[in-house]
Amino acid sequence: MTEVKVEKLKEFNQEILERLVEIYMRGYEGMREYGGEGEGYAKRYLRWCWNKAKDGFFIAKLGDEIAGFIVCDNDWYSKYEGRTVGAIHEFVVDKRFQGHGIGHKLMEKCLDYLRKYNDRIELWVGEKNEGAMRFYEEHSFRKVGQSGIWVRMVKDVHDKG
Ligand code: ACO
C-alpha cells in the first residue's frame, strides 16, 4: 500500500465534506444505528465536528486520497467526569482501507495531540461495535459506563514534556 500520511485538515470545503461523508457512510455500513440516519445527518454532524474541534481534525492520506479521519477535541466538558477532558468525537477509516494500520496511525496522532492539553480522554462507542472496542482496548481505553446503546470508554494520558 502507498505510504500513509497523517496531517491536520487545513480547510473544510464542499469537496472535502463530500469525501468525508462518503468515508463515514461506508465506514458505518452494517452498523447504521451508530452512524446516524443518512447523508444529511452525516453532513451536519461532520460540520459540527469541524466547528467544535478544527485544531484536532486529522486526516490520513494515501497519495492524494483521504482514507480516514479522527476528530480530537481538547476542550470537551464531560458531564460524566464533571470537568473538561479530551474527547474523540469521530474516528473512521474508509471500509476499503480498514485493517491496514491506518487507524493506529490516526490514533497515535490523536493521542500525541490530546496529551498536550488533557490528562483524560473520553469517547463513546456503539455497544455492538466489537471491532472498534477491541481497537480502543489495544490503545488502553477502558469501558467505564453505558448510556442506552453507547458505551463510554476513557483513557488517562500524560504529557511527555
Ligand atoms: N474486526 C476485527 N478487528 C477490528 C475490526 C473488525 N471489524 N475493526 C477494528 N478492529 C480492530 C482490531 O483490534 C485490529 O487490531 P490489530 O491491529 O491487532 O489487528 C485493529 O482494529 C486494526 O487496526 P487498524 O488497521 O489500524 O484499524 P483501521 O484502519 O481498520 O481503523 C477503525 C479502525 C477506525 C475502528 C475502523 O475499523 C472503522 O472505521 N470502523 C468503522 C467506524 C467505527 O466504528 N469507528 C469508531 C466509532 S467510535 C468513535 O468514533 C468515537
Q: What is the SS3 assignment for 57-102?
A: EEEEEECCEEEEEEEEEEEEEECCCCEEEEEEEEEEECHHHCCCCH
The rounded distance, in Å, linking the Cα atoms of 112 and 14 is 29
* Ligand 1 pocket, Cβ-based, cut-off 6 angstroms: 27-28, 88, 90-93, 98-104, 123, 125, 129, 131-132, 134-135, 138
The x, y and z cell numbers of residue 26, run together, are 461506508
Pocket test for ligand 1, best of 98, 134, 143 (most atoms within 8 A of CB): 98
Alpha helices in the chain (DSSP H): 14-27, 39-53, 102-114, 130-138
pLDDT above 90: percentage of residues in the chain: 89
Distance 132 CA to ligand 1 centre (A): 5
Q: Is the pLDDT of residue 1 over 80?
A: no
Mean pLDDT of 1-27: 94
Give me the phi and psi of 133, to 5 degrees please: -65, -40
pLDDT band at 30 (very low <50, low <70, confident <90, very high): confident
| pLDDT, position 32 | 77
Residue 83's Cβ-count burial label (10 Å; 0-12, 13-18, 19+) is: exposed
Q: What's this model's pTM, rounded to 2 decimal places?
A: 0.95
Residue minimizing CA distance to atom 37 of ligand 1:
98
The ligand 1 atom nearest the CA atom of 106: 26
Q: What angle do CA 85, 41, 38 make, to 5 degrees?
A: 125
Distance 9 CA to ligand 1 centre (A): 21
Mean pLDDT of 100-111: 98
Distance 98 CA to ligand 1 centre (A): 7
Q: Is the pLDDT of residue 161 over 70?
A: no
Residue 103's Cβ-count burial label (10 Å; 0-12, 13-18, 19+) is: buried
Residue minimizing CA distance to atom 29 of ligand 1:
103
